[in-house]
Amino acid sequence: MTPVELSRTVLRAVRRAVDEGELTVAVPARAVVTVPGPGGCGDYATTIALQLARPAGQPPLRVAQILRPHLTRADGVAGVEITGPGFLNIRLDPAAGPVASLIREIQAGGYGHSDALAGQVLRFRIPYDIRAEVVADTLVRIVATQGGRAEVEHRTSGGALAAHGPAPSGPVAIQGGHSEVQHRTAGAAPEDPATPQAPAAPRPVDLRPVPAPEDPTPLGPDAARWALLHPAAHDRPRVTADHLVQRAANPLFRVRYAHARTRALTRNAAHLGFTGVPGDPQAPDTAAALLRALADHPPALRAAATQYAPDRLARHLVVVADGVLGFQHTVLPLGDEKPSAAHRARLALAEAAGAVLAGGLSLLGISAPDYL
């Protein structure tokens, strides 16, 4: 709940008190809502009782006592306390609102997972090429998030099928100029042998991404995988040292740095004595882009699985990272400012974004360091 929305909530409480005959006063056009001053408590405070005392012909403390139950019953308000001559100190409910619901959904794990490919078995046919193997390896995990299962088989130079088996469940190891594909099943729970089931016929899918112009392994496993996965399959990947440079122009750096920043925010908040609590971040200008990116994660993951395009996930992670980097400066209190419900909610939002980044990088087979 933003201060503007809380101001409207206060005015509605005044209107209810007037409608029920508890106050005889004209409902003002505006109620001032501020951060509590010395001696105050809660997340916000309002002087509406002092403002209405003279026209209502009652002491400010009595007006505050009349308004308190109406405010307490309002949606998004967890409690109201009266301090001083009649200040109403309002504590917000951190669990109220769609943002809190989104954060709790991410915290529960498996955010973006669905049954879009439930019961489907895909057979990826790939050439003996490092990029094709890395793409297929990554798609196995992405397909599993949508309830499907994938297998991989190779084509020889003449086009015939070579020996094949289920696709790997872990990242393809990039070593010595080639990728090592271990044939294992991924994405499906073991079947009960006592329950006979007709196996679904695997759907053949030819994966032929444009090969890398040169060996990417000198970049190291993380940068090499990003170089092969970030471009669309029809684009030739760039195998350059730019993927190793720690600067904003490097998308891989931005994604991993944004994740590391969310971990740093958690550590710094702990030093200040507070933790993240799902709620309204009350920072619409900086939070809006991040919230949109997080809401777009499930369709991006589903598109990556159903369109066999891990680049869709990689590019989406860049959008999430940019949202984090634009939002991070609002999370911690500044100067002598005390942690409020807004700070706790912003921290929870940043942590949720960090979880999405870490999960997405894991699906790509790329590490997500806590320090960078």
User: Under DSSP, is residue 153 helix (H, G, I), strand (E, B) or coil?
Assistant: strand
CA–CA dist 318, 322 (Å, integer): 6
Cα-Cα-Cα-Cα dihedral sign, residues 201, 305, 111, 272: positive
| Two structure tokens written together for 38 | 């010395």
**pLDDT, tens digit, 9 for 90 and up, residues 75-89:** 888 899 999 999 999
DSSP secondary structure string, 13-75? HHHHHHHTTS--SPPPS---EE---TT--SSEEE-HHHHHHHHHTS-HHHHHHHHHHHHHTST
pLDDT tier at 308, thresholds 50, 70, 90: very high
CATH classification number, 3-92, choose in 3.30.1360.70, 3.40.50.720, 1.20.910.10, 3.90.230.10: 3.30.1360.70
Residue 187 and residue 115 in contact, taking contact as beta carbons nearer than 8 Å: no
The residues spanned by each domain of the chain are 3-92, 121-216
**Mean pLDDT over residues 257-277, rounded?**
97
| Two structure tokens written together for 30 | 């505006």
CA 342 to chain centre: 17
**Mean pLDDT over residues 346-363, rounded?**
98
Beta bridge pairs of residue 203 = 122
The lowest-confidence range among 37-46, 268-277, 359-368 is: 37-46
pTM: 0.71
**Mean pLDDT over residues 146-161, rounded?**
77
Burial of 192 (0-12, 13-18, 19+ CB in 10 A): exposed
- In the chain, DSSP assigns E strands to 33-34, 44-46, 77-83, 87-92, 121-127, 149-155, 161-166, 173-175, 178-180, 203-206
What's the pLDDT at 174?
A: 62
pLDDT tier at 165, thresholds 50, 70, 90: very low
